[in-house]
Each structure stands twice: as structure tokens, then as C-alpha cells.
Chains A and B, each alone.
Chain A
Amino acid sequence: MKTKQDFPSINERTPDGIKPDGTPYRVLVVDDSMFVAKQIGQILTSEGYEVVATAGDGEQGVEKYKELFPNIDLVTMDITMPKMDGITALEHIMNFDKNAKVIMISALGKQDLVKKSLLLGAKNYIVKPLDRKKVLERINQVLTKS
């Protein structure tokens, strides 16, 4: 006789943050604001993602990526940061790893910034204020598209 355990419950669904193999996607959050990093972190962890590191400026972000490579599945990148801005950091990361998956998250929504980021290789661009649903949708899109 089959018990409940043998059938996957239709009410349970695997959180988006968990890969098919059962381990969480590993995310690097780059933002100079403690508040934003916390906000993104909360959104990600609520859906099963793992925030493996945060960086407070573009320079640190690039360093961390190189350090943890190839164990970063996704980077969220702010644009307005001291020392090195997000666009420059994006460029460095893409040069280092052409398969890097970087999503820009910024309060600025200027068309030219969006275009520039996408041309440089960013996979998506989210404008703050952050809407939990939208953020999760976009991240999921980027990670599951092959």
C-alpha cells in the first residue's frame, strides 16, 4: 500500500531557491546599503536561496566573486556605490567569467544605464523599491533559463 510519503504532496512545492539537486543556489549580494543588503537577503532566504557573501562596494564585489568562483550561482549588483560603481564591477566580473549571472538592482532607472548593463552582459535589471514577488520572479527566470 502506498503511504502519503510515497506521493509528493500537491501542497508542497520546492522553493525556487533550491536547485534540482536539493542544494540552494548561492548568491553574492553587492550593495553599499546595509538596509538593502538585509532586504535582498530576507527576500532570498525566504525562498530558499543562500546568501553566501555580501560586498559593500564594486571592488569588494569583484574580489569576492573571484574568491568564491565557481561557487557563485548569481550576483545581485547595485549601481551607485563608492570606490567602484556597479557597471564597472559588472564589466570586471564578465571579463573574468563570461558565464557569470549578474542582475542589476538599482534605484536609478535611466534607459542608458539599463542598456549599458545588458550590453555588458547583465541578465536583468530591477528598479528599487523592491517588490518581493517581482524580485523572485526575475531571479528565478535568470537561473532557470539555460
Chain B
Amino acid sequence: MDTNTATVEQERAAPQGRVNTIDYKMVTFSLAGKDYGVDIMNVKEIAKAGRFTFVPNAAPYLRGVYNLRGDIIPVVDLRVFFHLPAEKKSDEALENMLILRLGEHVFGVVVDNIDKVVGIQSSSIQPPHPIFGDINIKYIHGVVENQNRLYIILDVVRIFAQKEEEKPRILSETPSGSYYAPVTGPISVPLTDSVIEARDEGGGTDLDFIKQTLFALKRFAATPLNEAWVNRRFEEWKKIQKSSDLQLKNIEDADQYLETFYSPYSGNFWGEDFIQAILQTLPDTASRTIQVWNPGCGKGFETFSFACVLRKRYRDAQIKIWANDSDLLAISQAPNMVFQLDDVPEYFREFLVKGRNGYTFNSTIKDSILFEYHDILNSNPFPELDIILARDILSFLPPVDQNRIISDFSEKLKGKGLVILGKNEQIVEEGWTSLGKDPVSAYTRKE
């Protein structure tokens, strides 16, 4: 059976808008010159890493352990595991690594090159034949052809069952005897659950797969928070892509899809139009102090912009802003940013002072901001807040955490406090009143 032709015929036959026949997606990579694939459901993320801590007396395919943001995970070199030739990389060189999650266990897997995400019909997967015998057949789930390339799909559950003392519970427990590992753990819940349901109903949709890819590649979680935008964008995307494959195959595609999501002046000083829109949303208050939490502040442009706006608006109050980001590289330069005058919009210039290398913000503004390297998913020890400025950060948190953080916002806000989200983010939960007008998405708690 020529899978390729069958697919093309089916594509021609299916009118646009009908549920696509793609119902299996895999991340593809190469080992010793051959193409392999792994079910995307098992892939937690992709990394480039070097210097694994060597573990003595371990099997030769165990390259060592790797510190993945605090979790120590074992790293397996699939080339060694399958006795394939591997090119020697120098000590300093970074290896390509897939991070797999199987149940509760996370593993790193070193491969030659990571290629892209490929969507196929699961019915086109053929059982392995001994002729594909570079590697032991028991580790192969099947093979499939796609766009003139042959992919060997690995049964990673079985490969890694070897490493566990306990019996591999995963395979036997799956309902309907299907191969796919069940969803476990708090993080992957709603999004992947809905994809599995869709699959069980006889086909995931294009949009579901786009959402899944956005999460895998960009950590963008499509939830009710940004649903309106995701759907609008999908309609636009269909027009942009016209008749060719709608799927996001790589990071560039994902970036392109997300292009219209971001709030105005992201990563930059705010322009007058946005400043006016913000000013319209800010309430009158006689408060002596204005306490602000600004998570996801990035390099700090948003924070400084807001600090100046607040300073002008609330002339007599003391402003205190807690700005944080979990990207150390971005935030580490924030407290001491130096600018050339021309790069700073007129609105902010009254707050600048001249230094040796350029202009910096004056001490009134600087002292009002506390920049912290902090992960919003850890506990957030902030006092009662008047304003929370969280543009485009919630959408990049896993769905369960999005809800948790919104509750956290609710708890921390003072009675009439204000939450400002990204242009395309909306709180749909009960208990919030919408205040803002596009492009400002602002809410207060319902009394």
C-alpha cells in the first residue's frame, strides 16, 4: 500500500473545513542517518545540553544525569542503546536532547538531530518488519512513510520500561488497549485530555493539533483565557496557509501563528496611544501608597513605562512596584538600564537623568521598583495589591496553573484593585467585572 498516494487522494477528496485525517503526531529526529519518530504526547520538551554528570557503574547507554531546572533526570543515548555509530562530540559541544515524560518519569534522550513535528494518519502506521532491523524490533511501534521519508516510530514506553524495577504498568492499564500512554500528573491535564477525547471520537481537529504544538514548542496554553483570539487567529491562518497543510511544523511556524497575540508595545516603551488607554482605566484613589505586582516584566520596559505613568497620575502617592520574571537573562539588566535619549519616547524623558554612558531613570522611579528573579509558579509572597499588571504571561502557563494564579490574583487584590491582562486575554471565570477597553484588558473583583 502506497501510503503517500492514499493520503494525497484523501486530501483532494476532503473539502476544506472537514475534520482532517491526521490523528497522530510525532516529533521526528535522526539516529545514525535514519529517521525516527516519537509520539508527541510523550515529549515534554526539546533541549540542547552538554555536560551530563557522569554516573559510574551504570549501563553504557546511560550518559549520566542532567539537571533540568532542579529535577535530576537520567539521560540515555539512544545511539549507544541501539548500538548505532555515534559521532564523537567534543566535551564542550551541545547535544540534541528530547525530554520525554512517561507517566511520572522524565528522561532525557540524546539523538543526532531533532527535525520537526509530523502529523500522519495512525492507520498508515505499518507494523515493524525485521528488515528495518538496525534496532531490536521489540522497540519499534511501527513504521510510516511521510513526504518521501520513512520514519521508524519508537515504542519509548517499552524502551524505558527496561530501566524500571517495577513492571511497566503503563501499557496494561491503558483503556481500549491502545498504545498511547495515559495522561498523568497535574501539568498536562486539560489540554491533552481534550486532544485524547477528540482522538477517541475518531479524529482530532486541525485546531486541536495546532494548540498542542503551540504548547509543546512555545509553552502557549490555549484555554478559555485566550480562546477568542485563538479561534479568530485560526480563521486568519486558514486564509494565510490557503490549501497547504495547516499544521505548525516548527518553531518558526509557531512564532508566526502567535504574531498577532502579543499586547501593544511588548518589550518596548509604551506609546502615547496605549498610555492614554491605560490612564482611562486607572481609577481615582486617595491612597497614600499604590502597590503593584508586575509578573513577567521581561527586560523591564513595561515596568518603567508603568512606573512613569503612575507617577504622573498619582502625584502624591508612594509607588511601589514588584516586578519579576523567571528569565534571568532578561531581567538581570533591568535595574541598571541605560538609554540614548532618542530611544526614549518624549513622555518619559522628564524622568531621565544623564549619566556617563547615557540616560537612566531618576532615583524616584528606580527606587519605586523592585526587580526580582522569581518564578510565578512558586509561592508569591506579595502584600495587598492595588494593581496587578500581567500582560501575556498567563497564556504561557500550563492550564491548571493559569486558574490557580487567577485565584491568587483574586486573593491578593485589595477591594477595588485592578488586574490588567494582555490585549487578547480575558478572564471568563465568575467573580470578575471587565473594565477595560481594547487594547487594555482590565478586571476588578465583583463585590
A and B touch in the complex (CB under 8 A): no
